[in-house]
Structure 1
Amino acid sequence: MDVILPCLNEEAALPWVLGRMPDGYHPIVVDNASSDRTAEIARDLGAEVVSEPRRGFGAACHAGLLAARADLVCFMDADASLDPRQLPAVSSAVAHGEADLVLGARRPVASGAWPWHARLGNRLLARRLRRRTGADLHDLGPMRAARREALVELGLTDRRFGYPLEMVLRAAAAGWRVAEVEVDYLPRSGRSKVTGTVRGTMRAISDMRRVMAEHSRTPVMGQEPPGSPRPPGP
């Protein structure tokens, strides 16, 4: 199982994150033009490193997806806000054919783990997502699991902060079974590029609003859930 870790200057957090990777989970660190020793440290700790010079959360995630080789892939942030030891809980339903896309719904376990402005924006987005897709989601969590080939076939195009939302919208439109499980949310290592500031949060919300608007105009249709049986031919 491959674990895609988009990284921008995460040298401080990587030893903890990679040191807690469960057996059988192969980390792919996508270095998104870091100015620190992210790539060097990741290699020293045994991770596969992919370089994505084009800045953007979605660009890094998609580069990792295209580099992955395992049938099942996971995504998670590499800032130590999420515990890799909870990856099996997130990936289990996909591995057993009970769901097609599973998101980790973040539950703060320490003070300061989730700033109020980020939590409010996420709550509003999740409410719109429930109305739009019918999926019982309460968080657009960055820890998630799905089958690699099916994700590639979704044809995700956003390369900024709208990438996680586009994944859910396209999956739901394609008839995927989308679910969530609770995961711990910890205070990250260092300052977040997104939720650490109101400006960063608003930039992410703006990207997601754009993706939501684009998909309301051009819904994805005609795709089957991954692994679903095809009707017999004539």
Structure 2
Amino acid sequence: MRNHPDSLSGSGIERARCAADRDTYRWRSTRPQTSAQDIQDIWQPWGANAAPGTGADGGAGGILIGNGGAGGSGAPGMPGGNGGPAGLFGIGGTGGFGANIAGSGGAGGNAGILGGNGGAGGAAGISQSGIGAPGGAGGNAGVLYGNGGVGGTGGTSRFGGLGGNGGVGGKAGLIGNGGDGGAGGNSGSATGTGGNGGAGGSAWLIGDGGNGGNGGIGVTPGTGGAGGTGGQLLGQDGNNGQ
């Protein structure tokens, strides 16, 4: 994939966004961006391969400062859209809610490259039977600072056997806390199993790891998610979910 024609080169890393193409392209944030491969192909299709009925992805934030837009809710049975990525500084957009009838939650948008909080993952919709849909993953924080986004709650399986799993929490920046994992979905079946809680996001250098999400309620409860790892220099590991 070639670079977007309106990209700008700065410090060896192309950072720009083109407002006119927000619905077509999005910034692909990889951390750290040090290799030649990371510097190449930083734009990728934004929602181009989404199935009909999927919630719209949130728009990107401004080039320097701006928050990503929230993802839209999905049509029945379809996932919510992903939250938009932020500018160099900014908060990632919240993932869209999955529609009822087993729609999965959209992922939270990543924060700005330099700093900001990741967006929260969207909650999954209710499933009438079968397996509940998973919650969306929380977005990752910016490189220098910021907290990871909270994972979305897994979908409840109303008459079926298994609740959906909670989304994982986003990773923190150099300074910041990892996002908490989402709770697992409940099962309303007489023989059902609750969904597993999502794992907490890890801290990087200074900060606490996110707490793992609690398992969903069921005849057999879901397993709690693992707590995220604390910062390498200072911080505590997150608590495991119940």
User: What TM-score do the two structures reach when normalised by structure 1?
Assistant: 0.27
Answer 1 or 2: higher relative contact order, Cα 8 Å, separation at least 6. 1
Question: Which of structures 1 and 2 has the bigger CA Rg?
Answer: 2
**What TM-score comes out, normalization by structure 2 length?**
0.27
